[in-house]
């Protein structure tokens, strides 16, 4: 049996030592060293970090925005329980990563974030009626949960990015009631539109009638005996210049045309 050449082992040992004594911190992570059970130094960002694998290990923490999706039954103001699908977007403040790990350990999400999120969501939803959660106040509920949750956990190094109520599942009877109410409101709005349109049309007709009335009043006021006589004279002149022969009987005020010569021949 051949003896193992020690000279061939040394390069392999050196290579393994290098591999086991370095750690790569990727984008979206921060790292820090734990030496003999204690956190030493500050956190460091992406790149290669060297350490003594016998006494030290590198702990990595994800500081990217994470989505936590939950199906939660939430209480409402009238005492009902509605099933919801709600998402939380949050991330760990990179500057607080060491404090988060020291205080809550690697299970910080369950210990601090989710427990507060569930409690806050139930507390806020209990302030609203089921119909408001379903239809009208969803954005307000999301904002209230975000603000309340931020007040609870931001001081510990967590940043809440968004709260999203993706779906709210109500009992079928309540859904039908809400749909009927919305349909009735739309019909009432349509009827009000028709009534307003009719009122506008009535106002238009009144204004038009008043305009005609005023126009007639102005015309009547502008008429005088001399003006009427002048118009009669102008009419008689046009009749005289007409190629047809006509018999005109007048009392000096208003002429009356009996007929034309061409009509008598016929």
* Residue 230 is assigned to a structural domain of this protein: no
Looking at the structure, tell me whether residues 41 and 79 fall in a common domain.
no
User: Could you give the C-alpha distances from 4 to 9, 11, 13, in angstroms and in order?
Assistant: 8, 14, 14
| Predicted local confidence at residue 217, as pLDDT | 75
SS3 78: coil
Looking at the structure, tell me whether residues 85 and 160 fall in a common domain.
yes
H helix or E strand, kind and range, residue 223: none
Q: Which of 151, 170, 189 is the last residue of a domain?
A: 170
Are residues 69 and 100 in contact, defined by beta-carbon separation less than 8 angstroms? no
* Residue 113 is assigned to a structural domain of this protein: yes
* Residue 222 is assigned to a structural domain of this protein: no
Q: What predicted TM-score, i.e. pTM, was given to this entire model?
A: 0.57
User: Could you give the C-alpha distances from 52 to 31, 76, 95, in angstroms and in order?
Assistant: 15, 56, 24
Looking at the structure, tell me whether residues 34 and 117 fall in a common domain.
no
CA 234 from centre of chain? 74
Tokens of 124: 């806020």
Are residues 75 and 125 in contact, defined by beta-carbon separation less than 8 angstroms? yes
* Residue 118 is assigned to a structural domain of this protein: yes
Beta bridge partners of 61: 30
Q: Which of 19, 44, 61 is the last residue of a domain?
A: 61
| Predicted local confidence at residue 155, as pLDDT | 93
DSSP state of 10: H
Looking at the structure, tell me whether residues 165 and 77 fall in a common domain.
yes
Sheet holding 29-35, edge to edge: 38-44, 29-35, 56-62
| Predicted local confidence at residue 162, as pLDDT | 94
Looking at the structure, tell me whether residues 158 and 70 fall in a common domain.
yes
Looking at the structure, tell me whether residues 163 and 83 fall in a common domain.
yes
Per-residue pLDDT of the chain (266 residues; tens, 9 = 90+): 445 455 566 565 555 555 556 666 778 788 777 777 677 767 777 756 665 666 667 778 888 899 988 888 888 888 888 888 999 999 999 888 888 888 888 888 999 999 999 999 999 999 988 878 877 788 899 999 999 999 999 999 999 999 998 888 877 777 677 677 778 878 888 888 888 888 888 888 888 888 877 877 776 666 666 666 666 667 666 766 666 666 666 655 555 555 554 444 44
Are residues 160 and 149 in contact, defined by beta-carbon separation less than 8 angstroms? yes
Are residues 174 and 130 in contact, defined by beta-carbon separation less than 8 angstroms? yes
The domain of 47 spans 6-61
Looking at the structure, tell me whether residues 16 and 46 fall in a common domain.
yes
What's the domain count of the chain?
A: 2
* Residue 134 is assigned to a structural domain of this protein: yes
Looking at the structure, tell me whether residues 145 and 85 fall in a common domain.
yes
Looking at the structure, tell me whether residues 82 and 56 fall in a common domain.
no
* Residue 198 is assigned to a structural domain of this protein: no
The end-to-end CA distance of the chain, in Å, is 153
Q: CA 142, 143, 147, 153 torsion: positive or negative? A: positive
* Residue 252 is assigned to a structural domain of this protein: no
Length of the chain: 266
* Residue 187 is assigned to a structural domain of this protein: no
Looking at the structure, tell me whether residues 131 and 103 fall in a common domain.
yes
Task: Give the CATH number for residue 166.
Answer: 3.30.479.30
Looking at the structure, tell me whether residues 78 and 51 fall in a common domain.
no
H helix or E strand, kind and range, residue 214: helix 172-222
Q: Which of 138, 170, 202 is the last residue of a domain?
A: 170
Tokens of 24: 């790569």
Looking at the structure, tell me whether residues 82 and 141 fall in a common domain.
yes
For residues 61 and 29, what is the distance between their CA atoms, to the nearest angstrom?
5
């Amino acid at each position: 049996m051949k003896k193992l050449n020690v000279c061939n082992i040394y390069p392999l040992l050196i290579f393994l030592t290098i591999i086991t004594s370095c750690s790569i911190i990727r984008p979206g992570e921060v790292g820090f060293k734990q030496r003999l059970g204690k956190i030493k130094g500050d956190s460091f960002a992406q790149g290669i970090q060297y350490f003594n694998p016998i006494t030290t290990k590198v702990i990595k923490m994800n500081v990217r925005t994470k989505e936590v999706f939950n199906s939660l039954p939430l209480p409402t103001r009238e005492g009902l329980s509605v099933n919801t699908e709600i998402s939380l977007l949050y991330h760990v403040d990179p500057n607080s990563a060491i404090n988060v790990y020291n205080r809550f350990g690697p299970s910080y999400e369950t210990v601090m974030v989710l427990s507060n999120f569930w409690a806050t969501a139930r507390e806020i939803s209990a302030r609203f009626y089921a119909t408001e959660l379903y239809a009208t106040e969803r954005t307000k509920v999301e904002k209230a949960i975000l603000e309340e949750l931020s007040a609870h956990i931001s001081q510990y190094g967590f940043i809440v990015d968004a709260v999203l109520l993706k779906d709210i599942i109500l009992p079928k009877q309540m859904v039908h009631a809400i749909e009927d109410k919305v349909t009735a409101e739309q019909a009432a709005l349509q009827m009000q539109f028709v009534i307003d349109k009719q009122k506008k049309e009535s106002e238009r007709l009144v204004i038009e009638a008043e305009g005609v009335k005023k126009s007639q009043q102005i015309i009547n006021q502008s008429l005088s005996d001399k003006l009427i006589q002048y118009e009669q004279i102008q009419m008689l002149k046009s009749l005289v210049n007409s190629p047809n022969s006509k018999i005109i009987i007048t009392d000096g005020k208003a002429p009356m045309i009996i007929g034309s010569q061409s009509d008598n021949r016929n």
